[in-house]
Amino acid sequence: MTAAMLASAAPAAAMELLMVERPGCVWCARWTREVGPVYAKTEEGRRAPLRRIDIDAAPAGVDLKAPLLFTPTFVLADQGREIGRITGYADDGMFWGLLGAMIAKADRAADKGETVP
């Protein structure tokens, strides 16, 4: 997929996980090998579908808390607002643990009728 196609991908209406990447990123490629094939089949993947974005393209429809500087960066967004991010990728255990914690934090806030700070 080209950078232009990545940038123009329509944003999801609810929770989504943005994967910010760049060509040649070895850690992005590792995530793609280790997690990519199963992500959409998991509860996390169903709750927060993946949208890949080139780091040089602004993510359409997402209000970010800070600039995107490193790849991969995973931004969890709900209703177009960043609610958390994971910068970097070391292994699948770290990724799933951090993503699970972000989703749980968003769920707790939603249960209270609040937004994630």
Residue 116: predicted pLDDT: 67
Query: Considering the domain boundaries, does residue 116 fall inside one?
Result: no
Q: Count of domains in the chain?
A: 1
Query: Considering the domain boundaries, does residue 33 fall inside one?
Result: yes
Peptide bond into 23 cis (omega under 30): no
Domain containing residue 21: CATH number: 3.40.30.10
**Helix intervals (H) in the chain:** 3-8, 26-34, 36-39, 43-47, 92-111
Q: Which residues fall within 8 angstroms of residue 45, CB to CB, at 6 or more apart?
A: 17, 38, 39
Of all residues in the chain, the percent with pLDDT exceeding 70 is 85
**H/E stretch holding 54:** strand 50-54
Residue range of the domain that includes 44: 3-111
Query: Considering the domain boundaries, does residue 68 fall inside one?
Result: yes
Mean pLDDT computed over 104-110: 87
Query: Considering the domain boundaries, does residue 74 fall inside one?
Result: yes
pLDDT, tens digit (0-9, with 9 covering 90-100), for 49-89: 999 999 998 788 899 999 999 999 999 999 899 999 999 99
User: Are the C-beta atoms of 38 and 88 separated by less than 8 Å?
Assistant: no
Report the distance separating Cα 18 and Cα 9, nearest Å.
11
Query: Considering the domain boundaries, does residue 9 fall inside one?
Result: yes
Query: Considering the domain boundaries, does residue 117 fall inside one?
Result: no
Q: Which residues fall within 8 angstroms of residue 3, CB to CB, at 6 or more apart?
A: 54, 56, 57
Q: How confident is the model at residue 104 (pLDDT cuts 50, 70, 90)?
A: very high
Q: In what order do the strands lie in the sheet with 16-21?
A: 50-54, 16-21, 73-78, 81-87
Q: How confident is the model at residue 8 (pLDDT cuts 50, 70, 90)?
A: very low
